[in-house]
Every structure is written in C-alpha cells, then in structure tokens.
Structure 1
C-alpha cells in the first residue's frame, strides 16, 4: 500500500469517527436531558407550595399523567418534576432533598407522599372530610352539588371507604 493509500484510509477512518460522534450527539444520549426536554414541551404548571389540597392534587395528577405520557423511567421521575417546584415548595425540597434521597426505595411515589405530608397537613384533611360530611344541596343545583361532592370526595377517602357510605353521604 502506498503512502497515498494509507493517507486516504486514515482520512476515511477519521470521517467515520467524526460521523459516529456527530450521530451520537444528535441522538441525545443523555437520557436525563432528553426526558427533561420531553416533560418541558408540555409546559406543566409550577407548584408554589400552596396549602390548598386542590392545587396540590391537581399538580400531582398532571405530573402523574405527564410522566406516563412521555414514558419517563422511574429513576428520572423526581428529577424531571422538582424543577417545577417554586417558592415554599422549592425551599422545602432544598431542605429535605438529601434526607429523602437517602430513604430506601425513594422515588416518585415516596416523593408524592412527602410532598402531601408537608403541604396537605392533617388538620386540612379533617377539615375537608368535615366539609364533605356537612355538604348539603341547599341553594345548589344537582350539578353544582355533584361537582362539590366529587371535589371533596378526593380528600376524604376514609369517610367514603365504601360505595354504601358514599351513597349515604351523597343523599
């Protein structure tokens, strides 16, 4: 093989290596970054740490659906979501992150439990359950009453443990 032939072979090999490197970069081999982009494209809402169970539950429900829709693996879920914490919620996460991550089995489900424990305190759970028990149709249409019943029932699982209890309270 001549010097020209060797130079040509090296040049071709360099092109192959360059193409492989380019393809690797274009394929986005950083799974966390790709997942963050997939989540961000949906423009999810921020959670500020409001002590309002409806806001918290709606935010969590939105992310439950989103992480399934983008096929987010379990090990990337928390990291993909905590970016959307602001205000008091973000401060809470910064304070608790290391301890929570050190918890055996920590992941999306334990993150949600911890978030609820912080921003949906027991006194609010009791308050929502009491609101449901005391709910009356007075001054409401059946549609309004049903909507309020459904809204409150999300927060009073213990009160509505069976269909029979649910029917009794709805009457």
Structure 2
C-alpha cells in the first residue's frame, strides 16, 4: 500500500480548511476527534479482504484528521482486539528492542506482512497490470486504479509513468480523443478524461433523442442545440 500511504503522509503537511494542524493538541481532544469517525475494530482476521478494507477505512479517517504520524500509530492500535492485540504486543516489543520509529509507513509494512501475505499482494499486482476501464465510468475506473496501484508502486514510480499507465487502461475511444492533449500531471489527465466522458455522453444522448424524435420535431431539436431552424 506504499503509493496511497505516501500520499497520506504528504497530506499531513497540508492542513484542511478550518482544521489547522496542531502537533501540541491534547491527547484527549485528538482521540475524541478520531472517535467521532466511529473507527471499526480489528480482531485479527486472516481474511485479506477484511484486513484490506479495515486498513483502507483507517487511512481515509486519518487523511481527514491530519494528525502527526506517531499519533496515527497510537490511535490505530486502539482498534485492535483479541489476536490483533496479541500480534501488536509482539511488534511493539520488537520496535522497542530495535528502536524502530513509530511511523505510519513502518506500521503498514508490519500490518501487510502479517495480514496481506505476498501471494495476495502478487495477485493484486497482476490485477493492476491487466486492469482496464471496460464498462466502468471514469470515476469508477480511477477509484479502482488507485486501489490496485498500491500493490505495484514500481510501475508508477514517477508522475509520468502513473499517467501513462492510467491512459493505457482507459477505453480506446477516450484515448483517441485524448491523443492531441498535452498532459503533465495525473490530476490533469483525470480531469480531461472526465470532460471527454461527459462530452461523449452528451453526444450519445443527443443522437438517442434525435432518433426518437417525431419527424415534425427535428427543427425544434436542432433549434434547442443552437442550430438554425427552417
């Protein structure tokens, strides 16, 4: 999950509107803010799907809170119960012995090692390599792209490679419409692809309406679109 987690760490330097980052915020106040999101408990299930969904939920909560890294680790372990708590006690002892920094990335590496074994991560990587838009909307495609890409960070190590991989997976008709565009960032390509999708949907809707319009209504249809009427 290196890609999405790296973005989360970057977000910590950008305070959200009306929520300035305060490293000295009291522990009780910070914990109260965390608990308002009703974070789910984790019991240590070995089902990779359960573990992955739980971690993604925590990532989304922490992205909104903008807390310091050490506090993220402190709060996430509050949600451990049963086998998960026992596992964390072992990891905490190892960290103290090896003087490992309490960073979010270190925590996630330990979590993935335990609950998302290599065989699962390899399967997700293969899914990402083969992933195509198909019948998905651009928004749905981007969401799934982001979810799978974290299992293959080496394939999107630069912004250019991330953009190229994203474009390779979208439908051919959109790729053709995008060919003449100059694109520098992922945000830019996503916005342009969305605009192309909207434009294509409008054209499709127009032709559908035109085919269904009665013969005497063609003039009005063209007139609505700004074309001269007879």
TM-score, with length taken from structure 1: 0.61
Structure 1 position 51 matched with structure 2 position 48? yes
Structure 1 position 143 matched with structure 2 position 141? no
Match of 1:62 in 2: 60
Match of 2:13 in 1: none
Match of 1:99 in 2: 94
2:53 is paired with a residue of what secondary structure? helix
Output aligned runs, 1:95-134, within 5 Å: 95-109=90-104, 110-134=106-130
Equivalent position to 1:157, from 153, 171, 174: 153
Q: 1:75, 1:107 within 8 Å by CA — same for their partners in 2?
A: yes
Greater alpha carbon shift after TM alignment, 58-67 vs 116-125: 58-67
Match of 2:186 in 1: none
Q: How far apart, CA to CA, are the structure 1 residues paired with 2:52 and 2:94?
A: 27
Q: How far apart, CA to CA, are the structure 1 residues paired with 2:126 and 2:70?
A: 38
Gaps of 5+ in 1: 1-29
Q: How far apart, CA to CA, are the structure 1 residues paired with 2:36 and 2:154?
A: 37
TM-score, with length taken from structure 2: 0.48
Q: 1:78, 1:107 within 8 Å by CA — same for their partners in 2?
A: yes
Q: Over the residues paired in the alignment, what is the CA RMSD in angstroms?
A: 3.1
Match of 1:27 in 2: none
Match of 1:13 in 2: none
Q: 2:41, 2:81 within 8 Å by CA — same for their partners in 1?
A: yes
Match of 2:78 in 1: 83
Q: Which one has the largest radius of gyration?
A: 1
Report how far residue 126 of structure 1 moved.
0.9
2:152 is paired with a residue of what secondary structure? coil
Q: How far apart, CA to CA, are the structure 2 residues paired with 1:42 and 1:57?
A: 14
Q: How many residues align?
A: 137
Equivalent position to 1:38, from 33, 39, 45: 33
Q: 1:129, 1:159 within 8 Å by CA — same for their partners in 2?
A: no
Q: How far apart, CA to CA, are the structure 1 residues paired with 2:100 and 2:78?
A: 21
Q: How far apart, CA to CA, are the structure 2 residues paired with 1:121 and 1:66?
A: 28
Q: How far apart, CA to CA, are the structure 2 residues paired with 1:108 and 1:39?
A: 18
Q: 1:138-170: CA deviations, max 9, x gaps?
A: xx5232872544432233322334122333344
